[in-house]
Structure 1
């Protein structure tokens, strides 16, 4: 997957607000070791060493979104019991507003207790209510969803069949999504998916898709039939069928099918992977990614979390680390403007002096290299603003550039003296300079200080302009003229 696109997507997550609607629960983990059999019955004895109580169910979707840096809202119902109160405290500790979380007398807040020894789950104990919420509570939740949807970019529905997501509430959710023009992504449960008609996308696993479609999934052909049947029957924009260690399959309304192999290096625990898929696909669509790209990012995230024990989350840095392994070193230096802005802010906070220069660099030659090496010595980091192909055509005519922007960027990124390359499409680098705020602005000696674009801006915050002389007789124009001369009669 394109690394720059992923970086740009992750950089936009802090501006995404997601509404999560579904079954909140507590996930309790009892960690210990087992070395003996009980004298009371033929079962292992687990000596518990530590306990962990986490947000589970729809709460793990919230955990994923918070870890990714998104803003979140939640709508759900809890029992008016100690577990319900504890769950609200966990939400508040993560600075998640609980205005959409309503208490229901007589209801039992869901708690799943998992007993683990040597990183293996040995037993799970469930305490919960599964009865549908009453009509009055359904109405309160529907009203909250209608209100919250107007300030969110996506609605994520996490259904565990614990009674919160009634057909009436689901209908209100889908109507709210349609009213505000935002995607509604559902992690479904049960065998009857008709209640999800109106969703943008569903993310069932293989077992769930088999039950809902009525098609026994035994091979690739039967999986395709099941996925296509569900997508067409419910008229979804897409269906993402997760396949555990085999990755995932995407069925689009257009009829296209995309099969993605797993990104997991080693599988320890698949619990919670569906929450990660739901979260990343949802915010991917909210951030403007295509269905294909949103699925690819979620596949990377799922591969990361299944390598962890217990329901887990994935951080942006972990996604970038995986994506980075798919690209050569030069590619890692080429950055999106907004991503680079954040990188340079951190470098500046660390006391680094940032040097910036820009140009076309069409047909790289020794004059360019000497110039860039000199510029790098003026500070701690050298950022090169590279004119795009469209920008060069406007500046130099339709016959230029000779080398496309992607090739030019990779050639320049291979130079040790360059730390980052960023492509800009404007005729001048002024907007880029405004975004990056370099300490030193460098141009060639054929400029006067007054003629350097961005001089006043850089000097306004204490930066300075440096002019560097080019190597005499070395230029792209001279190279072109020499080639034409030597090969004119060839």
Structure 2
């Protein structure tokens, strides 16, 4: 996935129509100081200096979606009380369509009050109803949800176990979503994930996944076992298992597992990161991204959120800034030839100049890096064609390469100046050049223009050939000779 594709995705977000269903609640924070013990009981006295009342529960998903500019409507059941009316008012002020929210005189709107002193949470007070909805209220809620499915690009089910997402409500929504082809993504609760059978995707954290699968996640093998178990148990298209500071893992129905390490520079607070992941994966699917692409963007966003203190959201600007500053993950830079052709066509359509060079790049050294940096300066996107191990052996002899192709590709992709890496089996990159159609073809100055493979083809479509001087005395062969002479 390219930076341009991520930008295109961000520009689509204001057109995406989202529906959030689940347990809405209020999060109240009381900040103060404590320095004395109550004379009434051996407990600290907190002098409150600041208070804040925020959307919580499913409201965290709403906050994330609105921060990204998406259209949001909600369906839920609130208590017919002051907190319920205040919650609805906050949603309306955030630009959320609340026509699908219902009031129930037999319920109490959830409010969680946290008392903090010296940046430490001292106490939490919960005021809420946890009993499942009655049959009549279930019927009304299902009707509200189904009526809005045709005007939704994606449905989010945010389950906090407070009784709104009953088995009946879940069954009706999941069946209706499947029937209409609307993706339904779920933040699950509890240990019985069979309740969510038919969902497109679930986003449990490591602890939740361990409990629901019955597999204690301790290493890569147990992680894979837990992911496979939950995929089958809930009949999912995919599972995104978040792993705090270790990033996340994407499990696909066909058996693939993709591990995405955290993109965070610093990890301060993981609270709320799950809602960010849920929001980004869901709208990625709504925008017709692949599951891997959606998870990649979600992972970038989560890396930003965990670098903030408290339950936070992320903006499009922050995501693009992170991509611009840190680049895309190395695994996204290593592409198959045909996939890369599509990516480069997209880049050219956005006015980008594509530069291509190739080589074995065995034992990457300063001469290589200088050469690649100067090649990147000739355009906007630098593609490096890398000879496979078999190709290198034919060109350099049976003792080469010293570094296997997977490692050479990974190291090459880690360079900031390199946009993409593609492996090729042939002795020359001619067929690859004809497929990728670069605007600039770069080789070392030890070539002449007439001896550069692909020159005729590149010039035929209006491109150019550039020759770059190498740093004298820097070569893989000389490095190997120096190592052997000292051994």
Q: TM-score, normalised by structure 2?
A: 0.68
- Paired residues of 1:11 and 1:339 also in contact (CA < 8 A): no
What is the match of residue 272 of structure 2? 272
User: 1:339 & 1:88 partners in 2: Cα distance?
Assistant: 44
- Paired residues of 1:8 and 1:336 also in contact (CA < 8 A): no
For residue 156 of structure 2, give the secondary structure of its aligned residue in structure 1: strand
In structure 1, runs of 5+ residues without a counterpart are: 329-333, 341-357, 364-383, 387-397, 412-473, 481-490
- Paired residues of 2:348 and 2:354 also in contact (CA < 8 A): no
Cα 1:297–1:400 change in 2 (3 A) is closer
For residue 164 of structure 1, give the secondary structure of its aligned residue in structure 2: coil
Cα 1:323–1:121 change in 2 (3 A) is farther
Could you list the runs of 4 or more consecutive aligned residues of structure 1 that deviate by over 6 angstroms after TM superposition?
Answer: 334-340, 358-363, 398-403, 474-480
Cα 1:475–1:207 change in 2 (3 A) is closer
Cα offset, 1:129, TM superposition: 0.3
For residue 141 of structure 1, give the secondary structure of its aligned residue in structure 2: helix
Aligned residue-pair number: 367
Note if 1:26 corresponds to 2:15: no
For residue 258 of structure 1, give the secondary structure of its aligned residue in structure 2: strand
Note if 1:54 corresponds to 2:26: no
Cα offset, 1:263, TM superposition: 1.9
What is the match of residue 152 of structure 2? 152
What is the match of residue 180 of structure 1? 180
In structure 2, runs of 5+ residues without a counterpart are: 329-343, 357-378, 382-429, 444-458, 466-487
- Paired residues of 2:354 and 2:438 also in contact (CA < 8 A): no
What is the match of residue 161 of structure 1? 161
Cα 1:213–1:293 change in 2 (3 A) is same
- Paired residues of 1:146 and 1:173 also in contact (CA < 8 A): yes
What is the match of residue 134 of structure 1? 134
Cα 1:151–1:475 change in 2 (3 A) is closer
Cα 1:157–1:26 change in 2 (3 A) is same
For residue 293 of structure 2, give the secondary structure of its aligned residue in structure 1: helix
Cα offset, 1:36, TM superposition: 4.6
- Paired residues of 1:142 and 1:173 also in contact (CA < 8 A): yes
- Paired residues of 1:362 and 1:402 also in contact (CA < 8 A): no
Cα offset, 1:361, TM superposition: 9.3
Note the alpha carbon deviations across 1:129-180, whole angstroms, 9 max, x for none: 0001111111111111111110111111000000000111111111221121
What is the match of residue 302 of structure 1? 302
What is the match of residue 86 of structure 1? 86
- Paired residues of 1:60 and 1:275 also in contact (CA < 8 A): yes
User: 2:235 & 2:129 partners in 1: Cα distance?
Assistant: 32
- Paired residues of 1:7 and 1:339 also in contact (CA < 8 A): no
Cα offset, 1:403, TM superposition: 10
Note the alpha carbon deviations across 1:46-81, whole angstroms, 9 max, x for none: 332211111111111111101101011111000001
Cα 1:42–1:14 change in 2 (3 A) is same
Note if 1:75 corresponds to 2:48: no
Cα 1:360–1:249 change in 2 (3 A) is closer
What is the match of residue 315 of structure 2? 315
User: 1:35 & 1:339 partners in 2: Cα distance?
Assistant: 64
User: 1:224 & 1:124 partners in 2: Cα distance?
Assistant: 36
- Paired residues of 2:60 and 2:275 also in contact (CA < 8 A): yes
Cα offset, 1:250, TM superposition: 1.0
Cα offset, 1:293, TM superposition: 1.3
For residue 28 of structure 2, give the secondary structure of its aligned residue in structure 1: strand
User: 1:407 & 1:32 partners in 2: Cα distance?
Assistant: 62
Cα offset, 1:273, TM superposition: 1.4
- Paired residues of 1:7 and 1:336 also in contact (CA < 8 A): no
User: 2:345 & 2:269 partners in 1: Cα distance?
Assistant: 34
Cα 1:107–1:404 change in 2 (3 A) is same
| RMSD of aligned Cα (Å) | 3.5
Note the alpha carbon deviations across 1:313-345, whole angstroms, 9 max, x for none: 1101111111112239xxxxx9979997xxxxx
